[in-house]
Chain A
Amino acid sequence: MSSPLVEVQDLNVRFVTRESTAHAVNGVTFSVQPGEVLCILGESGSGKSVTLRALMRLLPANKARISGSIKVDGQDVLALDAAGLSRLRGGLVSMIFQEPMTALDPVYTIGDQIVETIRRHKGGTKAAARARALELLELVKIPSAAQRLDNYPHELSGGLRQRAMIAMALSCGPRLLLADEPTTALDATVQIQVLILLRKLQADLGMGTIFVTHDLGVASEIADRIAVMYAGRIIEEGPVADILANPLHPYTRGLMASTVHGQSRDRDIDAIPGSPPDLRQLPPGCAFAPRCAQASGDCLTAPPEPRYPAPGRMARCVQVSAKTPEFA
Chain B
Amino acid sequence: MENLSDRGGPAQPLLIAKDLRKHFKVKGGAPGATVRAVDGVSFTIHKGETLGIVGESGCGKSTLARLLLHLIEPDSGELVFDGDPVGEMRGISVNALRRQVQMVFQDSASSLNPRMPVRDSIAFGPHVHGKTKAESSRIARDVLVKVGLKPDLFGPRYPHELSGGQKQRVNIARALAIEPRMVILDEAVSALDKSVEAQVLNLLRALKENFNLTYLFISHDLSVVRYISDRVLVMYLGAVVELGPVNEIFSRPKHPYTVALLASRPSMDPANRIEEPPLTGDPPSPIDPPSGCRFRTRCQFAETVCAEVQPVLGQWNDRDSHIAACHMRDPASGHSRATEVN
| Per-residue contact bits, chain B 41-72, to A (CB 8 Å; 1 contact, 0 not) | 00000000000000011000000000000000
* Nearest CB of A to B260, in Å: 6
9 more A-B residue pairs beyond the given contacts A223-B270, A269-B227, with a C-beta to C-beta distance below 8 A: A43-B194, A188-B265, A189-B278, A189-B279, A190-B56, A217-B267, A218-B266, A240-B270, A260-B197
B56: which A residues are within 8 A, CB to CB?
A: 187-190
Name the residue on B nearest A161 (C-beta).
B282
Which residues of A (210-260) have their CB < 8 Å from a CB of B? 214-218, 220-221, 223, 240-241, 244, 254-255, 257-260
Count of inter-chain pairs, beta carbons less than 8 A = 128
| Per-residue contact bits, chain A 128-160, to B (CB 8 Å; 1 contact, 0 not) | 000000000000000100000000000001111
* B163, B198, B266, B268: the one within 8 Å of A272 (CB): B198
Which of the candidate stretches B217-225, B302-310, B324-332 sits at the interface with the other chain?
B217-225
A residues sitting closer than 8 Å to B (CB atoms) are 43-44, 143, 157-160, 187-193, 195-196, 199, 214-218, 220-221, 223, 240-241, 244, 254-255, 257-263, 265, 268-273, 275-276
Q: List 24 A-B contacts (CB under 8 A).
A: A43-B194, A43-B195, A187-B283, A189-B56, A189-B277, A192-B264, A192-B278, A193-B279, A193-B280, A195-B266, A196-B274, A220-B267, A221-B267, A221-B270, A240-B270, A241-B270, A244-B269, A260-B197, A260-B226, A260-B227, A261-B268, A265-B226, A269-B202, A271-B198
Known: A160-B282, A188-B261, A191-B264. A221 touches B274 (CB 8 A): yes
CA distance A261 to B220 in the complex (A): 14
CA distance A223 to B268 in the complex (A): 11
Name the residue on A nearest B199 (C-beta).
A271
The answer to whether B340 has its CB under 8 Å from any CB of chain A is: no
B residues sitting closer than 8 Å to A (CB atoms) are 56-57, 163-166, 193-199, 201-202, 205, 220-224, 226-228, 246, 260-261, 264-271, 273-283, 285
**Do residues B193 and A241 form an inter-chain contact, with CB atoms below 8 A?**
no
Name the residue on A nearest B166 (C-beta).
A275
* B193, B273, B279, B283: the one within 8 Å of A44 (CB): B193
CA distance A86 to B166 in the complex (A): 42
Name the residue on A nearest B246 (C-beta).
A265
**Do residues B267 and A260 form an inter-chain contact, with CB atoms below 8 A?**
no
* Nearest CB of A to B72, in Å: 22
CA distance A32 to B285 in the complex (A): 41
**Do residues A187 and B266 form an inter-chain contact, with CB atoms below 8 A?**
no
